[in-house]
Amino acid sequence: MNFSDLPIENKLKKTIELAEFKTPTPIQNQSIPVSLLGKDILGTAQTGTGKTLAFTIPMLNNLIKNKQAMGLIICPTRELASQVMQTILKLNVREIGITNALLIGGESMQKQLRKLNKKARIIVGTPGRINDHLKRKSLNLSKVNYLVLDETDRMLDMGFTPQIEHILKFVPEKHQTLLFSATLPDNILKISKKYLNNP
């Protein structure tokens, strides 16, 4: 299957083509069609297998179709959050142009607040900084209908479980969740039972 065969919006097909993404990797092939149907996903694949595109394409498609919706992507480290945002920016060019904000530590709070004031609809960040913004009431997650937990095994190893659980209290009950992890230890399966709906 090629990306052009996917049942997605034409302007998204065009930006995928412009970004020169040609053939989906196995994780993309398996997960994109399922997530386009709005189903929850528990995906496992090693780093570097194209997980980012596996959740970014369905998210952008969802946000193009639903002008009110928001997407939230939680990553364990700033480096990973920055990489994810780079992929999003590669696809989310002028034709699509959905507002976004990268919420990570070590970056100017003012810059992040400016982005959030512009009603960013794609939020990528680390648990600590996302929680900082929730405490300040500068981040409103009440419109999130697409949630991604990326490299969840690393987030749990780093002790982020309480912070993730706190963030999820601000996300509406009705939303789609995609959980990606390089490994599937017991604690991941436990979290997936708690937060995923028949993945």
pLDDT of residue 49: 85
Look at residue 95 and tell me whether its pLDDT is greater than 90: no
Mean pLDDT within 138-143: 97
CA dist., res. 35 & res. 130, Å (int): 24
Look at residue 128 and tell me whether its pLDDT is greater than 90: yes
Look at residue 93 and tell me whether its pLDDT is greater than 90: no
pTM above 0.85, yes or no: yes
Give bridge partners of residue 102 from the DSSP assignment: 124
Give pLDDT tens digits for 153-170.
999 999 999 999 999 999
Mean pLDDT within 20-49: 92
pLDDT of residue 137: 96
Question: Please, what's the b/e burial string for 107-126 (b: 16 or more CB within 10 A of its CB; e: otherwise)?
Answer: eeeeebeebbeeebbbbbbb
pLDDT of residue 35: 97
| Closest CA relative to residue 161, chosen from 145, 185, 138 | 185
Q: pLDDT band for 185, please (50, 70, 90 cuts).
A: confident
H-helix or E-strand spanning residue 72:
strand 70-74
State the chain's mean pLDDT as an integer. 94
